Chain A
Amino acid sequence: MRVVGVCYLLFLLPVDSIIAQVDTFEFDTPSQQQRFRNLSNELRCPQCQNANLTGSTGGIAEDLRREVHRMIMEGMTDGEIRQFMFERYGDFIFYRPRLRAETVLLWFGPLIFLVIGSIVAYSILRRARRISVADSTLNSADQMRLQKILEQERS
């Protein structure tokens, strides 16, 4: 039980520091703060492969958080801030990349696999059904044999 407790505490540690990182910036309104949280959560740290700006202690993440804060305070919209990031870091900066010619495969690739999988599943099922139907109907020779057996049973 104690081990579980320690693990739980370890699990809480980084979360704590994340909150501390976010709260170092000052905002005029709660909505600005909320926007900052949302943007820092959805923008990806370019240096650290798989962490958002909120969760990263990397130098560049710190700089980008500061930039997001600055732009929010200067009255830029979320769209403008995203565009700013895109112009500098490209699609990599987004955890939800924009739908563009280069990202079509990323967005619809899973759908293509779903379609292929459905076609395969459908054809397997259809073949299985056809085989079972073929098995359950007797050809004329079998029919005659069956008839004979039944007659023998009766007599």
Chain B
Amino acid sequence: MLLFIPVVVFAVLVLVLWLGLSLNPQELPSVLIDKPMPAFAMSTIEGEEVSNIDLPEQIFLLNVWGSYCLPCLVEHPTLMRLSEEGEIPVVGINYKDQDDLAQDWLQTNGNPFAFSIYDMQGRLGIDLGVYGAPETYLVDADGVIRYRHVAVLDEEVWINDFVPAIAELKAVSEQ
């Protein structure tokens, strides 16, 4: 009986390390889940003033992007589709970018955003716990952050992660 103890310990260790390998170290748990969106009073990349009251009064996506960011270009078609098909409004945070470059980028690639908050210094980014573009937050109608996705939001991520999260939010709000 005692002979099996090392085998069991070894098996447990292998299991724990195996699970550890499958974790993505880039995916930090957000502290802001279920917390209200930080207060902001900034301008858009076009220079219009925006603050929390300008956010959509329904479930929306908050997408952190920049014209320098290649993965943003990868997820761009998905964001375009979502906003064009009216599936969900998308608000952008233009993170540590230059407004002229950002405007050019939207002109070239298309603009999926209701508006893009111009966060040149990354100040709003810090309040959100952002550490690099692209990141996407799911915010509910009350302006509470419900979900966060780091890295590219493609169709697969949309269907596997966001659609269920949104369905859950809607189910809770209907109760």
In the complex, whether A73 has a CB less than 8 A from a CB of chain B is: no
Closest chain A residue to B29 by CB distance? A90
Asked if B122 and A60 make an inter-chain contact with CB atoms under 8 angstroms apart, the answer reads yes
Size class of the contact patch on chain B: 10 to 19
**A125 smallest CB distance to B (angstroms):** 15
Closest chain B residue to A46 by CB distance? B131
Interface residues of A in 79-102 (CB under 8 A from B): 86-90, 92
Partner pick for A88 among B26, B29, B128, CB 8 A cutoff: B128
Q: Which residues of B contact A49 (CB under 8 A)?
A: 25-26
Closest chain A residue to B95 by CB distance? A59
**B144 smallest CB distance to A (angstroms):** 15
In the complex, whether A26 has a CB less than 8 A from a CB of chain B is: no
Asked if B31 and A88 make an inter-chain contact with CB atoms under 8 angstroms apart, the answer reads yes
Asked if B126 and A67 make an inter-chain contact with CB atoms under 8 angstroms apart, the answer reads yes
Partner pick for A89 among B26, B122, B123, B129, CB 8 A cutoff: B129
Number of A-B contacts defined by CB within 8 Å: 42
Closest chain B residue to A116 by CB distance? B9
Q: Which residues of B contact A86 (CB under 8 A)?
A: 31
Closest chain B residue to A70 by CB distance? B123
Docked pose: A49 CA to B32 CA in angstroms: 20
Asked if B122 and A63 make an inter-chain contact with CB atoms under 8 angstroms apart, the answer reads yes
Q: Which residues of B contact A38 (CB under 8 A)?
A: none
Q: Which residues of A contact B32 (CB under 8 A)?
A: 88
Docked pose: A46 CA to B121 CA in angstroms: 17
Closest chain B residue to A61 by CB distance? B131
Asked if A90 and B28 make an inter-chain contact with CB atoms under 8 angstroms apart, the answer reads yes
Interface residues of A in 119-154 (CB under 8 A from B): none
Would you give 24 A-B contacts (Cβ < 8 Å), ordered by A?
A46-B28, A46-B129, A46-B131, A49-B25, A49-B26, A59-B96, A59-B132, A60-B122, A60-B125, A60-B132, A63-B96, A63-B122, A64-B126, A67-B126, A88-B32, A88-B127, A88-B128, A89-B28, A89-B31, A90-B29, A90-B30, A90-B31, A90-B129, A92-B29
- Measured CB to CB, the residues of B under 8 A from A are 25-26, 28-32, 96, 121-123, 125-132
The 10 A-B pairs with the shortest beta carbon distances in the complex, nearest first, are A46-B131, A90-B31, A88-B129, A47-B131, A63-B122, A60-B131, A92-B28, A89-B129, A47-B132, A49-B25
Q: A60-B122, A86-B31, A90-B30 are in contact. List 11 more A-B contacts (CB 8 A).
A: A46-B129, A49-B26, A60-B125, A63-B125, A67-B126, A87-B31, A88-B31, A88-B126, A88-B128, A89-B129, A90-B28
